[in-house]
Amino acid sequence: MNGSDRVQRDVPPRRVTAGLVWVLAVCGAYVVAYSAALVGLARASADRLPLVRRLLELLRLVS
């Protein structure tokens, strides 16, 4: 038996809002932290990886 029919549909709105706020907070923090970390990693490996170097140069040109 598949579980979709077991999901309770009459969920209290406050709980749903609280859940959504939590999801947005964690995902938002991740997007900021992970993007910063990826840029840092790209910079660190730019001398080894020509493609990354070109991408960083392109980003510099755009900004």
Q: What is the DSSP letter of 33?
A: H
Q: Based on the shown chain and the rule CB under 8 A, indicate whether residue 59 belongs to the binding site for other proteins.
A: no
Q: Which residues contact 53 (CB under 8 A, 6 or more apart)?
A: 46, 47
Other CB atoms closer than 10 Å to residue 46's CB: what's the count?
16
Contact string (CB under 8 A) for other proteins, positions 2-41, x = contact? xxxxxxxx-x-x-xxxxxx-xxx-xx-xxx-xxx-xx-xx
Q: What is the binding site for other proteins (CB under 8 A)?
A: 1-9, 11, 13, 15-20, 22-24, 26-27, 29-31, 33-35, 37-38, 40-42, 44, 48-49, 51-52
